Amino acid sequence: MRFERYGAGLVKGMIVTFKHLLRHPITTQYPEQRLVPSRRTRGNELIWNSAKCVVCTTCAKTCPQGAIHMVTAVDPANANKLTITTIEVDSGYCISCGLCVESCPYNALHMGYAYEKAKYRRQELVQSNEGLLATETRKASAYMHADMEKELPEQTLLINNKQQG
Ligand code: SF4
Ligand code: SF4
């Protein structure tokens, strides 16, 4: 009797196994295959627009992690104005909460679009000055900036991948 029950379970298990064997794979072969993240993703770096920034330091004060460090100075060309001499974001402390982006009153800060940022050295996790500016490879996401969505590629999902495959 016991043997019969064991056999039935084995058959059921094999049926499940065969179903999975015939199913289309739903995983991707990373890193050869990469999915495109959401256009409003909160990537693991920040993008700063120095032209829009008015050096109010709101972002640094808002950060719950103390991950943004700013050094300001009086603008030599205008004594009523401040300039940033150093801006650093330690992405090793950043939890990608997006509060700094939400708090910026001049839309000068964006969440990055990238999600791969493994580094060999701790210091390389700190973005500073020019390292915070947008480049061809370092793009801003549309998080908190829905108007930027049209410039970004459509998100691919595992389910899309399945249909395409
Ligand atoms: S995303 Fe959050 S943790 Fe990261 S720098 Fe901005 S406020 Fe700080
Ligand atoms: S909150 Fe915006 S405008 Fe103010 S210092 Fe930060 S990036 Fe610049």
List per-residue pLDDT tens for the chain, 165 residues long. 555 677 888 899 999 999 888 887 777 888 898 888 999 999 989 999 999 999 999 999 999 999 999 999 999 988 989 999 999 999 999 999 999 999 999 999 999 988 887 889 999 999 999 999 999 989 999 999 999 999 898 998 766 655 444
Report d(CA 48, CA 2) in Å as an integer: 68
Q: Is the dihedral of CA 61, 66, 67, 70 positive or negative?
A: positive
Domain ranges of the chain: 46-153
Task: Name the residue of 48, 52, 57, 59 whose CB sits within 8 Å of the most ligand 2 atoms, as the mutation to test its pocket.
Answer: 59
How far, CA to CA in Å, does 89 sit from each of 14, 125, 142, 143? 53, 8, 19, 18
Burial of 142 (0-12, 13-18, 19+ CB in 10 A): buried
For the CA of 63, the nearest ligand: 1
Residue whose CA lies nearest to ligand 1 atom number 7: 63
| 108 pocket-lining for ligand 1 (C-beta < 6 Å) | no
> From the CA of 116, how far away is ligand 1's center (Å)?
17
CA 96 to chain centre: 7
pLDDT of residue 162: 53
CATH architecture of 46-153: 2-Layer Sandwich (3.30)
Q: Residue 1 has what pLDDT?
A: 53
Predicted confidence at residue 8, as pLDDT, reads 87
Phi, psi angles (nearest 5°) of residue 66:
60, 35
pLDDT at 164: 47
